Amino acid sequence: MKIYQGIGITPGIAIGRACVWKRSAESLPVYRLRPQEVEPEVSRLQQAIDRTEQEILRLQEKMANSLGPEYGQIFAMYRVFLQDKTIREKAITIIRQERINAERALDVVIKDLGEVFAYSPEELLQDRRRDLLDIVERIIANLNPTKRKQARVLGKRRIIVSQELSPSQLATLSHQKVIGLVMEVGSPTSHAAIIARAMDLPTVVGTGIFIETLKEEETVIVDGETGQVIIDPDRKTLLSYKQKQKRLASFQKRLQTLVHLPAKTRDGHRVNLLANIEFPEEAVSVGGYGGEGIGLYRTEYLYLNRNDLPSEEEQFQAYRRVAELMKEKPVVIRTIDLGGDKFPSHLGFGKERNPFLGWRAIRICLERPDIFISQIKAVLRAAVYGHLKIMIPMVATVEEVQQTKQVIDRSVEILRQEGKPFREEIPLGVLIEVPAAALLCHRLATMVDFFSIGTNDLIQYTLAADRGNERTTHLYQPCHPAILSLITTIVEQAHAHQIRVGLCGEMAATPEIACLLVALGVDELSMAPAAIPRVKESIRRVTWKRLVALRDRLKDFSTHSEIYSHLKNSLADVLQEN
Ligand code: PEP
Ligand code: MG
């Protein structure tokens, strides 16, 4: 038995046999061309690229139909790469100048492009590098369509274990036959991970290299929650995971019975549980998990993976779709949070030394009113179709809120002139995720209609610990007394000014921490849709009286681990193991 640790990205357990998926190790043919062979070789390449484009278009449609248009959009980026001429023109130049075959020319292009990406530590750029590799592999396969290997067909239900699976490979797989996924490399933001999440397959990425030693059909356990991958488990482990899988299934079934019940403690303290989403289609499943609205819609995803800006109309359609799907339930639209680790290629981001402290979120919007106004107009127009709110990320100063209000006023004026239907009065909130905003919340509370606490960033900025750096993971401490103290201050100030306060960082999805947040007075918790039922169940098992006692003991502790153990021990009987 061997255990590998990766990052679990879709909870659930898969137990089954491995289908080992390796990149083709076949070496590419390399040969020189005679002068009269050069132009026919260029045509062969052109045809292969055209065929690839058709193929990608079909995949795009397939994904859009089965998972929703946002997932199809991932392949639109592939087509951008193909139409962008970078690959086509570079490869043609190499064929003509060096008189070598198309396969070899493509190999040179990809190596050149690979070097450009190799110096970019950003995960998103690495993900694009993988997309690019995938495209070139497809073009190479299309250079010899008759020799092309049949797409692999899974006859039986299998766990795919791969070095890295591209979104297009994932899309080509028959959904029914794949029961789990493991990738040696990859990140939670990779396209393959996004698709896997949408397919709801237990998935682990970033295990490190191990598949060379793995045999086809070997038994594999994938724990999408803990991120563990167990190869050839011993009897005891297999049995315990089978039981865990069964427990999980009956737990999920039981949680289903809670969908229409309120998130209320046994003695009647009521909070609201909402969902975090990145794509409009995710709103479809929110009600099924018992979500009472959307507490965070990360709209910047509409700006990524493309080489132009989304138009006002396109944004309007996306927000309208979410508004209509959620009916009268609230939807918090966070204005774009670009920068940090999300860089659209076309916005002219220079290299920054500290991108998380740099040109990010509201800072970009206020410097680019054209972009900001088009987004605000789209929200105001879509608000006619539902209960939309606007929330601004990364606020550090009062001026940023004042300027945002001016942008909203300006957007209203323009819409009035244009005569388009829109809703003027829509609630404005601040995402409190910078310590300065937390300490200034008594002022901010007089200026806005609600707060939401973004602890993913608040922890990073308060403890000065990069949220994406594995060497500072130990400092990423949600129950650090400084964090709990900031949350307490924010809640007190919000309530003193009669506004509601939510929390939409990842910590809200951990049941015992969610109970603590309720004890601290947070009114709304927002999390990944699938996390809602479990958090609701925990809240429904405690009493407010008990939560107050738990909260009152916080002053006795001075570290994250002491507080976390206190929570675990005090709530052991109400927290369901599954
Ligand atoms: C946060 O910072 O807590 C948050 C919810 O926003 P994001 O994770 O998108 O930065
Ligand atoms: Mg944030």
pLDDT tens-digit readout, 206-219:
898 888 889 999 99
Question: How much is the pLDDT for 178?
Answer: 87
Residue 158 and residue 143 share a domain: no
Q: Is the pLDDT of residue 33 over 50?
A: yes
DSSP code for 339: B
Question: How much is the pLDDT for 553?
Answer: 96
Residue 499 and residue 476 share a domain: yes
Boundary-marking domain end, from 254, 288, 313: 254
Widest CA span of the chain, in angstroms? Answer: 87
The Å distance, Cα 247 to ligand 1 centre, comes to: 32
Residue whose CB lies within 8 A of the most ligand 1 atoms, among 337, 391, 451, for a mutation test: 337
Ligand 1 pocket by C-beta < 6 Å: which residues?
296, 298, 337, 433, 454-457, 504-505
Task: Report the atom number in ligand 1 closest to the C-alpha of 340.
Answer: 10
Residues 157-214 have pLDDT tens digits of: 899 998 887 777 777 765 558 899 999 887 765 667 777 777 778 999 889 888 888 9
Say if CB 355 and CB 398 are below 8 A apart: no
Say if CB 196 and CB 187 are below 8 A apart: no
The Å distance, Cα 103 to ligand 2 centre, comes to: 44
Residue 477: inside a domain: yes
Question: How much is the pLDDT for 152?
Answer: 56
Task: Report the atom number in ligand 1 closest to the C-alpha of 455.
Answer: 3
Please state the rounded mean pLDDT for residues 438-456: 97
The more confidently predicted of residues 280 and 448 is 448
- CA of 395, nearest ligand number: 2
HSE-up of residue 336 (Cα within 13 Å, Cβ side): 32
Q: Is the pLDDT of residue 148 over 60?
A: no
Q: Which residue's CA is minimally distant from atom 8 of ligand 1?
A: 456
* SS3 track for 174-205: CHHHEEEEEECCCCCCCHHHHHHHHHCCCEEE
The Å distance, Cα 431 to ligand 1 centre, comes to: 9
Boundary-marking domain end, from 193, 220, 254: 254
Question: Quick one: which of 402, 397, 504 has its CA closest to 448?
Answer: 402
Domain that holds residue 125: 35-147
For residue 263, the cross-strand partners are 271
Cα–Cα distance, 189 to 196 (Å, whole number): 11
Cα–Cα distance, 68 to 513 (Å, whole number): 33
Cα–Cα distance, 538 to 251 (Å, whole number): 13
**Residue 254 banded pLDDT, cuts 50, 70, 90:** confident
For the chain, the distance separating the N- and C-terminal CA atoms, rounded to the nearest angstrom, is 23
User: What are the phi and psi torsion angles at 182 (to 5°)?
Assistant: -135, 135
- CA of 526, nearest ligand number: 1
Cα–Cα distance, 297 to 344 (Å, whole number): 18
User: In 194-225, which positions are buried (b, 16+ CB within 10 angstroms) versus exposed (e)?
Assistant: bbbbbbebbbbbbbeebbeebeeeeebbbbbb
Residue 567 and residue 506 share a domain: yes
Question: How much is the pLDDT for 239?
Answer: 96
Cα–Cα distance, 139 to 92 (Å, whole number): 13
Cα–Cα distance, 478 to 254 (Å, whole number): 29
Q: Is the pLDDT of residue 509 over 80?
A: yes
| DSSP notation for 356-373 | GGSS-THHHHHH-HHHHH
Highest mean pLDDT among 32-36, 172-176, 535-539: 535-539
The Å distance, Cα 438 to ligand 2 centre, comes to: 13
Tell how strand 500-503 and strand 7-10 pair up: unpaired
H-helix segments, 303-447: 312-326, 362-367, 369-382, 398-418, 435-439, 441-444
**Tokens of residue 122, six digits:** 């950003």
**Could you tell me what percent of the chain has a pLDDT over 70?**
91
Say if CB 524 and CB 274 are below 8 A apart: yes
HSE-up of residue 341 (Cα within 13 Å, Cβ side): 15
For residue 431, the cross-strand partners are 452
The more confidently predicted of residues 155 and 136 is 136
Residue 443 and residue 410 share a domain: no
Question: How much is the pLDDT for 392?
Answer: 98
The Å distance, Cα 177 to ligand 2 centre, comes to: 37
Q: Nearest-5° angle of CA 411, CA 413, CA 419?
A: 100
152 CB contacts (<8 Å, ≥6 apart)?
19, 21, 173
Residue 322 and residue 416 share a domain: yes
Residue 292: inside a domain: no
Residue 132: inside a domain: yes
Q: Which residue's CA is minimally distant from atom 3 of ligand 1?
A: 454
User: What are the phi and psi torsion angles at 457 (to 5°)?
Assistant: -85, -35
Residues 285-295 have pLDDT tens digits of: 899 899 999 99
Residue whose CB lies within 8 A of the most ligand 1 atoms, among 504, 506, 517, 526, for a mutation test: 504
Task: Report the atom number in ligand 1 closest to the C-alpha of 337.
Answer: 9
pTM above 0.85? no
Q: Is the pLDDT of residue 338 over 80?
A: yes
Instruction: Look up residue 17 and give its amino acid.
Output: R
Task: Report the atom number in ligand 1 closest to the C-alpha of 433.
Answer: 2
Residue 412 and residue 314 share a domain: yes
Q: How distant, in Å, are the alpha carbons of 45, 247, 512, 513, 514 from that of 557?
A: 67, 34, 17, 16, 19
Boundary-marking domain end, from 112, 147, 182: 147
Adjacency order of strands within the sheet including 158-162: 2-5, 228-231, 219-223, 13-21, 158-162, 178-183, 203-205, 7-10
- Report the CATH number that the domain containing residue 374 is assigned in CATH: 3.20.20.60
- Report the CATH number that the domain containing residue 49 is assigned in CATH: 1.10.274.10
Residues 117-129 have pLDDT tens digits of: 555 555 555 666 7
Residue 106: CB atoms within 10 Å: 25
The Å distance, Cα 568 to ligand 1 centre, comes to: 25
Q: Is the pLDDT of residue 543 over 50?
A: yes
Q: Which residue's CA is minimally distant from atom 7 of ligand 1?
A: 456
**Tokens of residue 468, six digits:** 């994406």
Residue whose CB lies within 8 A of the most ligand 1 atoms, among 456, 524, 527, for a mutation test: 456
Q: Is the pLDDT of residue 41 over 90?
A: yes
Cα–Cα distance, 141 to 548 (Å, whole number): 64
Task: Report the atom number in ligand 1 closest to the C-alpha of 460.
Answer: 2
Question: How much is the pLDDT for 149?
Answer: 52
Residue 280: inside a domain: no
**Tokens of residue 176, six digits:** 């029914």
Question: How much is the pLDDT for 122?
Answer: 56
Q: Which residue's CA is minimally distant from atom 4 of ligand 1?
A: 454
Say if CB 443 and CB 398 are below 8 A apart: yes
The more confidently predicted of residues 308 and 357 is 357
Burial class of 471 by CB neighbour count within 10 A (0 to 12, 13 to 18, 19+) = exposed
**Could you tell me what percent of the chain has a pLDDT over 90?**
57
Highest mean pLDDT among 69-83, 88-102, 270-284, 550-564: 550-564
Highest mean pLDDT among 8-22, 73-87, 532-546: 532-546
Q: Which residue's CA is minimally distant from atom 1 of ligand 1?
A: 454
Residue 140 and residue 111 share a domain: yes
Q: Which residues are the active-site residues?
A: 191, 504
Residue 489: inside a domain: yes
Residue 286: inside a domain: no
Residue 30: inside a domain: no
- Rounded to the nearest integer, the mean pLDDT of the chain is 88
Residue 539 and residue 416 share a domain: no
Residue 91 and residue 6 share a domain: no
The Å distance, Cα 214 to ligand 2 centre, comes to: 39
Residues 353-405 have pLDDT tens digits of: 898 999 999 999 999 999 999 999 999 999 999 999 999 999 999 999 999 99
For residue 388, the cross-strand partners are 331
Number of domains in the chain: 4
Residue 270: inside a domain: no
Instruction: Look up residue 409 and give its amino acid.
Output: D
Say if CB 76 and CB 310 are below 8 A apart: no
**Tokens of residue 505, six digits:** 């960082």
Highest mean pLDDT among 142-151, 206-215, 430-439: 430-439
Q: Nearest-5° angle of CA 248, CA 251, CA 254?
A: 155
Q: Is the pLDDT of residue 115 over 70?
A: no
Question: How much is the pLDDT for 117?
Answer: 56
Cα–Cα distance, 160 to 154 (Å, whole number): 10
Cα–Cα distance, 270 to 16 (Å, whole number): 42
Q: Is the pLDDT of residue 438 over 70?
A: yes
- Report the CATH number that the domain containing residue 155 is assigned in CATH: 3.50.30.10
Residue 129 and residue 186 share a domain: no
Residue whose CB lies within 8 A of the most ligand 1 atoms, among 123, 296, 300, 363, for a mutation test: 296
Instruction: Tokens 């209320």: give the residue.
Output: 264
Residue 154 and residue 19 share a domain: yes
**Residue 250 banded pLDDT, cuts 50, 70, 90:** confident
Task: Report the atom number in ligand 1 closest to the C-alpha of 526.
Answer: 5
Say if CB 131 and CB 78 are below 8 A apart: yes
Question: How much is the pLDDT for 4?
Answer: 94
**Residue 150 banded pLDDT, cuts 50, 70, 90:** very low
Question: How much is the pLDDT for 121?
Answer: 52
Cα–Cα distance, 188 to 68 (Å, whole number): 20
Residue 70 and residue 206 share a domain: no
